[in-house]
Chain A
Amino acid sequence: AQTVTQSQPEMSVQEAETVTLSCTYDTSENNYYLFWYKQPPSRQMILVIRQEAYKQQNATENRFSVNFQKAAKSFSLKISDSQLGDTAMYFCAFRSQGGSEKLVFGKGTKLTVNP
């Protein structure tokens, strides 16, 4: 069974600075997808960024980028120019490509952006 580990329960960063959230996962599969979801206090789950395991290029979405290290099974999220609206829980998630469609989530990292 796949597992996802987020080793940082809480993090904080000053507005406009850069922060990196860590995520590692365990799987025996070669093809899969990885995601970062944001959950603000409203509880809404919002997809931030996704990565296909077969792609070597790291995904980027505006201020959000990932560092995907397939051999190390590591998938970190970098937030540049942090904004107050980035304050939220961030969840790393894994999904198989050929098997179950379910998302396997890490326990989350609570990020606080300070003014």
Chain B
Amino acid sequence: DARVTQTPRHKVTEMGQEVTMRCQPILGHNTVFWYRQTMMQGLELLAYFRNRAPLDDSGMPKDRFSAEMPDATLATLKIQPSEPRDSAVYFCASGLVLRAVNNEQFFGPGTRLTVL
């Protein structure tokens, strides 16, 4: 049963601390997305990668957020230092993009982050 996994599922931290969220995309998928969900802004793209290379990180605050793919089986989203306004649910999604073929994005269960 192929699925996207995310760790941790819940994280409570204090302002100023570093937070790292991890995502394991579905094996064979070449595209990974990071979305953030808040009550005020809804669901928004932070960044996405194709074959581990960043394609779009325009939605990500550059001063404190960073996203990487150390290898094809792991994507990380890091916040340093964290702030209360970063409290949200962070979703990772993966998909297989082949030319113009429509493809579904499969979402992970999300990481609920609370910054006190």
| Residues of B that sit less than 8 Å from A by CB | 31, 33, 35, 42-45, 48, 50, 55-56, 59, 89, 91, 93, 95, 97, 100, 102, 104-105, 107, 109-110, 112
Contact = CB atoms under 8 A, between A and B. Distances in A.
B100 A97 contact: yes
Contact of A101 (B42, B44, B55, B110): B55
Interface in A56-115: 91, 97-98, 100-108
Contacts of A45: 91, 93, 107
A47 B103 CA distance: 11
Nearest to A97: B100
Q: Is the interface of B mostly helix, strand, loop or mixed?
A: strand
Contacts of A104: 45
Given A44-B109, A45-B107, A105 B43 contact: yes
A52 B102 contact: yes
A97 B99 CA distance: 10
A103 B104 contact: no
Nearest to B9: A43
A102 B91 CA distance: 13
Q: Is the interface of A mostly helix, strand, loop or mixed?
A: loop
A108 B89 CA distance: 15
Contacts of B91: 45
Contacts of B42: 105-108
B102 A102 contact: no
User: 5 shortest A-B CB distances, which residue pairs?
Assistant: A45-B107, A105-B43, A102-B45, A107-B42, A43-B110
Contact of B48 (A50, A52, A101, A108): A101
B34 to A, nearest CB: 10
Contacts of B110: 43-44
A43 B105 contact: no
A79 B70 CA distance: 42
